[in-house]
Amino acid sequence: MFLSLTIGKGRYGEVWRGTWHGENVAVKIFSSRDEQSWFRETEIYNTVLLRHDNILGFIASDMTSRNSSTQLWLITHYHEHGSLYDYLQCTVLDVETCLRLATSIICGLVHLHVEIFGTQGKPAIAHRDLKSRNILVKNNKQCCIADLGLAVMHSQSNDYLDIGNNPRVGTKRYMAPEVLDEQIRMDCFESFKRTDIWAYGLVLWEIARRTIVNGIIEDYKPPFFDLVPVDPSFEDMKKVVCIDQQTPTIPNRMFSDPALSSLAKIMKECWFQSPPARLTALRIKKTLKKLSNSFHKPKHSPNF
């Protein structure tokens, strides 16, 4: 394994581009304070068959000794566009690309959320830290979901909810109201899926703002940029989301485009204060597939 370039740094540790057997790979090196995330992600990738186009491909996990300290590595597929967050900063989207990104993320989320039975099966999984920095953009302009360090698993057969024991919490900016006001039912798997949907609505808002219609577009901004500081506290978010019950402002221009106004409707239905009222991932996937298909209506071929 040869590490060539740092491509990301954060509280979690750092991500390097590396080469392994002649292929580019991404190597996430976890900081010692976040070893639980490494354990969790390793455990999930090693026990669950998670091969899916819209979930980051896992290659290997390793505990290695470097500079007389233990390093925790997670080796995955490499995607040169980087995170959706990075991609949106510098890319103007057309409606088709916007729909492609949005649909691919929800396809990944549906695959996580659903339990598949049988020998090739998987438990249901909720992500718990969905955000534009944890989604990667592939060369084909589809996305894949990364970072399963906080994920929870559920199997219907024995009704076992595996929450792991990670002290880390999700990203405050993307926390659903029931997480911020500590009303979430931690013993109920459905609760966790519903927090993923809240976060998905925020990611959708980030994508839609960067989508050009009639020459108009907004600069990239994170959700609630106009309401909280750059690194908001739990209390900052709680005031905006729970007490004031604010949601991100949807620019008026979106309502003049059929595709973007459909996306705006989905966003709003991800942001209900009441978790059971929110759309499910499967419902969103069906709506977006239909929307994408109407966009790709084949040109009528002559009837011979």
* Burial class of residue 86 (count of CB atoms within 10 Å of its CB; 0-12, 13-18, 19+): middle
pLDDT confidence band for 289 (50 / 70 / 90): very high
* Confidence bin at 297 (pLDDT 50/70/90): low
What is the C-alpha separation between 261 and 230, in angstroms, rounded?
A: 28
Adjacent-strand bridge partners of 154: 124, 161
CATH 1.10.510.10 fits 82-295, yes or no: yes
pLDDT in tens, 114-159: 999 998 899 999 999 999 999 999 999 999 999 999 999 999 988 9
Q: In the predicted model, is pLDDT for residue 302 greater than 80? A: no
pLDDT of residue 295: 77
pLDDT in tens, 174-219: 999 999 999 999 999 999 999 999 999 999 999 999 999 999 999 9
d(CA 150, CA 169): 8
Q: What is the pLDDT of residue 300?
A: 58
Question: What mean pLDDT do residues 81-102 have?
Answer: 98
Position 64 scores a pLDDT of 84
Identify the CATH homologous superfamily for domain 2-77.
Phosphorylase Kinase; domain 1 (3.30.200.20)
Three-state DSSP at 232 gives coil
Catalytic residue among 129, 147, 196, 257: 129
Model confidence pLDDT, tens digit, residues 214-246: 999 999 999 999 999 999 999 999 999 999 999
Does the annotation mark 219 as catalytic?
A: no
**pLDDT for 301 beyond 70:** no
Q: What pLDDT is stored for residue 2 in this prediction?
A: 86
28 in a known ligand binding site: yes
Return the HEC string of 65-85.
EECCEEEEEEEEECCCCCEHH
The residues spanned by each domain of the chain are 2-77, 82-295
